[in-house]
Structure formats: structure tokens, C-alpha cells
Amino acid sequence: MKVDFSSKFELIKSLLKNIKGKTLLIIHYDADGLTSAVIFSRILEKYGQEYKKDFFCTVAKDSYREEYEKSEETKKHILEFDNIILLDYCFDSYNDLETRNIFVFDHHKSGQRGKPYIINPSWEVSSEELPSTSSIIYDLYYYLFGPDKLLKQTTFIGACSDFMVYGSIPYLHTNSKDLDLFMSNSILPKPILFDICQNLQNIYEHTGKEIKLFEHLLENTKENLDGFFVFNPEQQKIILDTEKEELENIKELLEWVEVDETKKLIIINLPPEHKALKKYIQNILELMYTDYTKLIYTNRKNRFSCSIRSSKVDLLKIVNELKKEFQDFSGGGHSFAAGCAGPLEKKVFLIQKIKDKL
């Protein structure tokens, strides 16, 4: 089921046709957020806007939300802009920002709802039908200008990275047999997920230069998608050095892997000192154990935190059930990718619920 955002798109169109002042894009730092920002930047460019002259970008990690709530300096910086666009990101409240032109594109069931400037399908569709934010932005582009093969492919990268290809297809105005999505007949979603998103993650997570990555993609995806595949020598060295170091550490981590072949479940106890390897391990597991449910948890004092990936069970439903049962349990995410945290003694309930569903 595709949510019809045409009435909200008309509001955005009115703003863009008469856009004035400076615009700030606040984007989530993952691949879906980055691809969303590239597509929205192309929309702004169509309306004569230029990066670093008319519009600017802040790449936000999860901690930025708390920073916005508690830091007057951060809030003051945001309010220096006339137009504020959140992409794959949300705040708990926008009351302080409503004196500006604001639009929020997101697909997480959090933050406010019901506001005319919030474009978020999560309250209207099931977890299985949830699209990536990049596909919502492409839907806006399509509404304004019609189809664009290159941006459709860019969107597909964001959808793959968030495990939301199925829910994103309707927003791409195409079908799953569209070979344009795969760049060529030989490139399939899994290699895209690994080759592109792994490189993106290695660069921004190990250099702290998230904004440089956005600028790299913005500059190098105008004519083709080479910007996703080809990095300059400095970036290539970062990738190679990082992977060499992490591959050595992976050998040690294999001792902490529990594989349940019957349930097709992999559980990894990842010590806090190796937590930086989590996304790397997730990508390796996604390639090697595509059909398995993967749970990676870290213990800290009396609590644990974990990330889960699965194509077999509704992870968000499980997390929400545990949140209702235990007040000290927290978490969220999507049907096929979720995260949660709670007291150590509650971890067994999480694992058992997953096993019961498999």
C-alpha cells in the first residue's frame, strides 16, 4: 500500500517555487539518509538553489536529537535558517521551529504526528510495507518533475541499505523486475548493499567526516553512480586499512558466535571494546547468512543493548511486546531491522521470543 502524499507535496511545491532565504538539510548519517539528501539536493538545484550558497547540510547521528533538546547553541544555529528540512530524521517536538518553513521526511514511528509538515507513512502502513525515506523523497521528485533513472537507482541504494526494498517499490513508480534498479543485469541488491554501504560506513564512521561524504556523493553522482563505487586514493586507503584491521579482530570474535542451525539464528556477544565492529559484522553476516536471523548484543554493567536483523519475523512487533511487558525495556526500528536495550536478566526473554517466532 502506497501512502498518497500529494496534498503535502503541494505545500512543499509552493515553498520551493517561492523559496527565499537559507535552507538547512538535517540528514541521518546512514546510507538511506545520505541518498535522501542527494535526491532532495537535486530538487533544490532544479529550483535554482546552490549548495553552500543557498542550502547547507548537517549530518546528524542519533545523539544530535538529544543535543537539539538540551543545547541552546544547537537550537540557535538551526533557527538561523529560514527553511529547515529533516531527512530520515525527526525530533520529539518542533514547537521551537514552527516560526520557520519546516518539513520532516521520515519513516520511524517516533516524534510528533498529524502536523501538515510531517511526511511519514509509518502510522498508516504495516512494517512490511514501510518504504525507505529515500523512496519518499524520490516520490516527491517524481511528483514535481517526473521520472529520473539515475535518482531512481540512487533511491534503490537507500532502500537496500535499510532492508526496505519491498515497501519502497511503489514509491519508485516501477516494479521489482525493473532492470534499471540494478544498474545492469548482473548487479543484485546484496552486492549493492555490501559494496556501497560498507564503503560508506567505513569512510564516515572511521573518519568523522560525514559531511565530506555527503559532498563527495553530491558532486560525483550527477552523471552516473560512479561516486558510490569509486573513491579517491585517500578514501580507498581508509577503507583498506580499516578492513585489514577489522578482519584480524573478526577472527577473535568467532569464538563468541552461537549458531542455531535448526532455527537459523545467529547470536553474537560483542564485548564493549569491539562495539565499533558491529556494522562490519552485520554486513558480513548479511552476505554469508542471508536467510538467518542475526542478533548482536553488548553487555555493559547491568544492562545490554542489541541490534537484530531478520527477514523471517517481525522484529518491531517483538520489541514493542517487550516494552509493554517491562517498563525498563526500550527499543524501536523496523520489521526487519530493530534495536533494543534492557536489564541483563531480560535478554533471555528477547531471545526466547525470537526463537518462538522462528
Tell me how long the chain is: 358
Residue 338: CB atoms within 10 Å: 23
Q: Which domains does the chain have, with CATH numbers?
A: 6-207 (3.90.1640.30), 252-357 (3.10.310.30)
Residue for grid cell 526463537: 355
CA 59 – CA 211 distance, rounded (Å): 6
Q: Report the mean per-residue pLDDT for the chain.
A: 83
What average pLDDT score do residues 31-53 get? 95
Instruction: Check pLDDT > 70 for residue 186.
Output: no
Where are the strands (E) in the chain, listed by range? 23-28, 55-60, 83-87, 101-105, 118-119, 257-260, 265-269, 293-300, 303-309, 330-333, 337-343
Q: What is the mean pLDDT of residues 36-45?
A: 97
Question: Which run of H or of E encompasses 175?
Answer: none
| 208 CB-contact burial (10 Å; exposed 0-12 / middle 13-18 / buried 19+) | exposed
Q: How far apart are the first and last CA of the chain?
A: 26
Report pLDDT for 225: 76
| Higher local confidence (pLDDT), 129 or 26 | 26
Identify the weakest region by mean pLDDT among 30-34, 128-132, 240-244: 240-244
- pTM greater than 0.75 (yes/no): no
Q: What's the mean pLDDT in 145-162?
A: 88
* 219 vs 285, more confident: 219
**In which element (H, E) is residue 135 found?**
helix 133-145
Q: Over pLDDT 70: what percentage of the chain?
A: 80
- The pLDDT tens digits for 248-284 are 666 666 557 788 889 999 998 888 877 777 766 776 6
Confidence of residue 209 (pLDDT cuts 50, 70, 90): low
Pairing of strands 330-333, 337-343: antiparallel
